Amino acid sequence: MNRVRIGTAGIPISAKPRTSKAAVKKLAELGLECMEIEFVRGVRMGERSAQELRAESEQHHIELTEHAPYYINLNSSESDKVAASKERILQAARVGWAAGAKSVTFHAAYYHDTDHEQVFENVKRELWEIRRELDDEGNQIHLRPETTGSPTQFGTVEEIVRLAAEIPGVYPCIDFSHLHARSIGAYNTYDEISRVLEFVQSELGRSALDQMHMHLSGIEYGPKGEKKHLILPESDMNYQAVLQALVDHDVGGWLICESPNLEEDALLLKREYDQIVQNRKGGIGHG
């Protein structure tokens, strides 16, 4: 049976000092199992620091993923912005690979007024180039375009999974909270979450579920989709259904908590997940 490793998006609030190395130690003390390195405001880590973080995370058995900068738009009409976006993904991928990160996720593009199929082709073309450059360097980090929380952003489940199906070395990052916000309240039942996982498996094969990169938090949304992350118990996010579906579909990989209280909600998720696993071993199934 697979197990999902659960951890935080960035340095836990309780970690002192506020460094990635201290974060790894704190996560191990808390009993959490992974961390997403947050480069959302820019890649501010050198190769030496990345290598030191790798050693620290391996010592404490904390696996790493990472989030590339927010300022990425592979569908910009301005070629310099596309080039800068690609460079940000490459920078994150290189530092992440040095740090031992398993995958790097990012919000790939905005639609603007472009036909959605054309946006897909534009994003696909640029990701092919990024993937080729990393492959030439021997960098095998997974590129993970993420499902996004607003209808103005490229990033439906279908788009992300299709990219993964068409480009070797590209995989989906499924943000369950974004799916919920983008759909203005859907993707919040066991059956809906199960259908997402079944779709991933049908399009990408069983191995895709063995190594999923996922995000989960509470989320506030309105008619235009995502507004902000919330603490899980203060939101309508049905995280219990997500966790049950992950267990029932034998999903492995990394579940990153992006709630404002970080490790508190990550520990809530881990307690709930562990209980579901225990119930399954004891023969207590869903329903």
CATH code at position 194: 3.20.20.150
- Specify if 58 maps to a domain: yes
Q: What is the pLDDT of residues 44-79, one digit of tens each?
A: 999 999 999 999 999 999 999 999 999 999 999 999
Mean pLDDT of the chain: 97
- Specify if 75 maps to a domain: yes
For residues 187 and 233, give the distance between their C-alpha atoms in angstroms, rounded to a whole number.
17
Average pLDDT of 119-125?
A: 98
Q: What is the pLDDT of residues 251-271, one digit of tens each?
A: 999 999 999 999 999 999 999
In this structure, how many other beta carbons lie within 10 angstroms of the beta carbon of residue 207? 10
- Specify if 107 maps to a domain: yes
- From the CA atom positions of the chain, what is the Rg in Å? 18
Average pLDDT of 210-235?
A: 97
Q: So what's the pLDDT on residue 92?
A: 97
In this structure, how many other beta carbons lie within 10 angstroms of the beta carbon of residue 40? 18
Q: Is-above-0.75 flag for pTM?
A: yes
Task: Report the domain count for the chain.
Answer: 1
CB 15 within 8 A of CB 266: no
- Band of residue 282 on the pLDDT scale cut at 50, 70, 90: confident
Terminal CA-CA length for the chain: 20
- Band of residue 286 on the pLDDT scale cut at 50, 70, 90: low
| Residue that wins the pLDDT comparison between 282 and 285 | 282
- Specify if 287 maps to a domain: no
CB 169 within 8 A of CB 131: yes
Q: List the domain range (segments joined by +) for residue 62.
A: 4-281
Counts of helices then strands in the chain (DSSP H, E):
10, 12
- Specify if 264 maps to a domain: yes
- Specify if 169 maps to a domain: yes
Apex 195 CA angle, 171 and 123, nearest 5:
30
Is residue 133 over pLDDT 60? yes
- Specify if 286 maps to a domain: no
Beta bridge partners of 75: none
- Band of residue 283 on the pLDDT scale cut at 50, 70, 90: confident
